[in-house]
Amino acid sequence: MSIIKRNNSFQGMNSIFDDLFNRDLLNWGLVNNSATNTTLPSVNIRETNDNFIVEMAAPGMTKDDFKIELDGNLLTISSEKEDRNEMKDGEKYTRQEFSYQSFQRSFQLPKDVVDSDKIQAKYENGVLNLVVPKKEHAKQKPPRMIEIA
């Protein structure tokens, strides 16, 4: 009996094809992977009568790692984080890996609806929460009864 050595040099190709052909072809927005096989933070956006509520799962970060911008009606949340270990004099290393993470997510909000001066953001327990208030004229009015003459 002979042992057959398997060549695993094309192992990555299987996952590329699996990712490509197992996707929902009608909704590429469901895919949360970039070309470098990294992931973007997942986001929930809810709309209430008074606000838009944005929740972004980003564990392991601090509030200072985020940059939040509103340009017109385009809301952009981004982050760049780099970890480096400083070495003391006389230390040597045989292997050192740098850690660098960045992402940017942008969301188009309805035109002339957001009260940009009152946006609030809070980072707590690994989740970035934004409350984006609506302008008064954009809030849904309660139904009113119309009298028949």
Contact 128, 56 (CB under 8 A): yes
Distances in whole angstroms, Cα of residue 76 to Cα of each of 41, 110, 111, 122, 145: 13, 14, 15, 15, 41
The answer to whether position 44 is within a domain reads: yes
What total number of domains does the chain contain? 1
Structural domain range at position 32: 14-82+100-133
- Tens place of pLDDT per residue across the chain (149 aa): 455 555 555 555 555 555 555 554 444 444 444 444 457 899 999 999 999 999 999 998 899 999 999 998 899 999 988 776 666 667 776 666 677 788 999 999 888 888 989 999 999 999 999 999 999 888 888 888 999 98
- Tokens representing 74 are 């385009």
pTM score, whole prediction = 0.63
The answer to whether position 24 is within a domain reads: yes
* Cα–Cα dist 149/132, whole Å: 42
Domain of 51, CATH number, reads 2.60.40.790
Q: Exposure string (b/e) for 50-87, b if CB count within 10 Å is 16 or more?
A: ebbebebebeebeeebbeeeeeeeebebebebeeeeee
